[in-house]
């Protein structure tokens, strides 16, 4: 449940990156801003590339006592020494994945713009629920999660919630009081200095 405390940050990796270069960039961001969790969000289905990327990001994350989860690839969690999985199909596979990975693994669920899907995921055992996109985007079908969904969630549901997608400083200011986490990635990685860009984005939080 969101409180007056400053929301924490889930740092989302780019969908493609050079495992020999990106970890240093990731480390600079993590050393500049307090990060609660790293989400490995690769678009590739190349096992070897995913493994090399996960290994590199895991070393950086765990050296800073930060959990790292991977999008979708449940079978890779234990194999690669990761802390859990971020599911992208709402509540559909939460219960099975929780059973497969056990109680200690992080199991999160992206539930788009739908409060009902979020409630179903929470009831199925998700550690957190993510809603988005929060901001305007030409991706997907253009739908956005309504502010009152997160406002209601913060007042009623105890399972932590992440607000993500096309965030701006104005949206960070608006949603800060009603979210436990912001999921941030695409908003910063295109900048020459992602750490500085993240600080600017989070400035409204004080």
Residue whose entry in the numeric block shows the structure tokens 């984005």: 201
- pLDDT tens, position by position, 16-33: 999 999 999 999 999 999
For 130-177, what is the HEC assignment?
A: EECCCCCCCCCCCCCCCHHHHHHHHHHCCCCEEEECCCCHHHHHHHHH
Q: Is the peptide bond before 23 cis (omega within 30 degrees of 0)?
A: no
- Rounded to whole angstroms, the Cα distance separating 89 from 103 reads 20
In the predicted model, is pLDDT for residue 134 greater than 90?
yes
Task: Please give the average per-residue pLDDT across 97-122, as a whole number.
Answer: 96
* Class in CATH terms, 8-205: alpha beta
Closest CA to 97 of 115, 70, 116: 70
Check: CB of residue 83 under 8 Å from CB of residue 67.
yes
Query: pLDDT confidence of 2, banded at 50, 70, 90?
Result: very low
Query: How big is the chain, counted in residues?
Result: 206
Three-state secondary structure call for residue 57: helix
Task: Please give the average per-residue pLDDT across 146-151, as a whole number.
Answer: 96
Check: CB of residue 110 under 8 Å from CB of residue 137.
no
In the predicted model, is pLDDT for residue 75 greater than 50?
yes
CB atoms within 10 A of CB 11: 26
Closest CA to 70 of 93, 48, 36, 43: 43
Residue whose entry in the numeric block shows the structure tokens 């399972």: 159
Could you state, in order of their start, the residue ranges of all structural domains in the chain? 8-205
In this predicted structure, what is the pLDDT of residue 138?
Answer: 77
- pLDDT tens, position by position, 165-180: 999 999 999 999 999 9
Query: pLDDT confidence of 1, banded at 50, 70, 90?
Result: very low
Q: Is the pTM of this model over 0.85?
A: yes
């Amino acid at each position: 449940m969101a409180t007056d405390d400053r929301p924490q940050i889930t740092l989302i990796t780019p969908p493609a990156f050079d495992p020999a270069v990106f970890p240093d960039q990731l480390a600079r961001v993590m050393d500049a801003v307090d990060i609660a969790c790293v989400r490995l969000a690769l678009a590739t289905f190349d096992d070897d590339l995913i493994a090399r990327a996960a290994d590199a990001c895991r070393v950086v994350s765990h050296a800073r006592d930060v959990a790292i989860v991977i999008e979708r690839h449940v079978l890779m969690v234990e194999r690669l020494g990761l802390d859990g999985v971020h599911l992208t199909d709402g509540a559909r596979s939460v219960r099975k994945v929780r059973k497969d990975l056990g109680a200690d693994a992080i199991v999160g669920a992206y539930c788009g713009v739908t409060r009902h899907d979020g409630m179903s995921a929470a009831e199925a055992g998700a550690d957190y629920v993510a809603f988005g996109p929060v901001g305007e985007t030409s991706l997907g079908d253009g739908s956005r999660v309504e502010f009152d969904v997160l406002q209601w969630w913060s007042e009623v549901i105890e399972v932590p919630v992440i607000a993500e997608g096309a965030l701006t400083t104005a949206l960070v200011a608006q949603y800060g009081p009603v979210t436990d986490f912001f999921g941030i990635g695409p908003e910063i990685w295109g900048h020459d200095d992602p750490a500085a860009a993240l600080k600017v984005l989070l400035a409204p939080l004080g």
